[in-house]
Structure 1
């Protein structure tokens, strides 16, 4: 069975032993330079792990801004695609007993995948904070920001039809799908942020 790869701490320890065992001046200087490089890598590794493993407990105004940026980045490529109009038409016209089942199924999919990304993805441990005792703040915030971003960009670039509001809503929902994913990524990847708690802006809810 092959030995496991050594950690940076183990490599650093071996380099220190090597430096002590070398007697020649030039070789000792080389060993010292390599050890210092390993020390820098070890410190970088520790800082990275500390950042990744840190829990996210607060939901702040900066999280909202980062969610908006992430949503915009993921949404814009779809706004210019003609496929958005086709999929939106599919959502609006594919009815079962008068119910837009594909539109509703897509909405459920967006909520589910966003919740999974925020609360169950293993690279971040995000604490679920509830407003009014039952509304998950971060999930609702990400979904609303993504929806508003999708609506604004679609309206700004003339991709909505005011004469057919439901068709326009279906088109927005297509962009919202990608925007929600981008907003979730933008929210949690940077880790916990400084800023004013969202709940404090609404009387501590």
Structure 2
């Protein structure tokens, strides 16, 4: 590179360009290194300030951390937006009848939905989603929240509107699973797109 050219990956100080995700990573590393509780609390406070500043800047490209009532409400809204058409559509019942005769396809349909939600939240890079205080040290709270609100919403909506008969439990579960697929996708998108 000649003296007159500039490195597109560097800033004026010669440091590679960074985003809020990089800052958050650095602060988490710092939190692990500091020795006192007071210093750790100061690092956590700095992370909170950085997230608030990131939120004010843009709804996309922010670091998403934790899962609260607001996230749950957004997931519920997305679930309902994608799920209400499934609750009134007769094709849902037809697919459920098919799935009751093919238990492998029923399980595969459920696992497909779970995989789609994981992909939307953690792989598609719509937002920089961080796992915060996972359940049992392993299961992300956001994943449990999004899937949980989808299953509960599908079950309650289909039951309340008389679309399932729990006298035939396998058919009822198949109906719920069919409605769960788009509802879980809607819940994941509803949670992430507002950028909470």
Does TM-score exceed 0.5, indicating one fold? yes
The aligned length equals 142
The structure 1 residue matched to 2:149, chosen from 136, 142, 145, is 145
Q: How does 1:75-94 map to 2 (within 5 A)?
A: 75-94=83-102
- Aligned residue number for residue 166 of structure 1: 170
Q: What's the offset of the Cα at 1:123?
A: 2.3
Query: Residue 151 of structure 1: CA displacement?
Result: 0.8
CA contact (8 A) 2:126 2:192 kept: no
Pair 1:127 & 2:127 matched: no
Residue 186 (structure 1) aligns with = 190
Q: CA RMSD in A?
A: 1.7
Are 1:117 and 2:117 matched, yes or no? Answer: no
Structure 1: give runs of 5+ residues left out of the alignment.
Answer: 1-46, 95-99, 193-205
Q: Deviations over 1:1-54 (max 9, x none)?
A: xxxxxxxxxxxxxxxxxxxxxxxxxxxxxxxxxxxxxxxxxxxxxx99733111
Alignment of 1:8-23 (within 5 A): none
> Secondary structure, in 3 states, of the residue corresponding to 2:60?
helix
TM-score (norm 1): 0.66
Gaps of 5+ in 2: 1-54
| Aligned residue in 1 for 2:73 | 65
The answer (yes or no) to whether the contact 2:110–2:177 under 8 Å persists in 1 is yes
Q: In 1, Cα distance between the equivalents of 2:171 and 2:58?
A: 47
